[in-house]
Amino acid sequence: MNKKENLLFQSRGLALLLAFFLLILIMAFIFGDRGLLEIMKTQKQIKILQQTIKELESEKLRLSKEIDMLRENPLALEEKAREKLWLMKKNEKVVVLVKDKKEAKHE
């Protein structure tokens, strides 16, 4: 009976040891540096960055069109300069409309 108990104890110990290593492998697979959670977080970051790239490309296209328009049309260039730099022609007045703080809060 002593050999039988010893053999049973060894097989249980081996099973426990294998279960422990399996648990460690599963934990490493899920929570490790290159685990499942890290992969999911990285994929989310990739989607966010791809969306940012799309937005920047559309902004680049819009700015390229604006540059072409300003190069080709001197009136558009003048209008943009007057708008951005507050330039005005002789005998021209600039009127600036400022919203009241109360109105701005309601909008």
- For 67, the enclosing helix (H) or strand (E) is helix 36-72
Nearest-angstrom CA–CA distance, 107 and 105: 6
Report pLDDT digits (tens) over 16-33. 888 989 998 888 888 777
Alpha-carbon Rg of the chain, whole angstroms?
A: 35
If 0-12 CB within 10 Å is exposed, 13-18 middle and 19+ buried, where does residue 35 land?
middle
| 37-49 tens-digit pLDDT | 888 999 999 999 9
Residue 100 is classified by DSSP as: -
Q: Which tokens go with 104?
A: 């701005």
Q: What is the pTM of this model?
A: 0.53
- Domain ranges in the chain are 1-31, 43-106
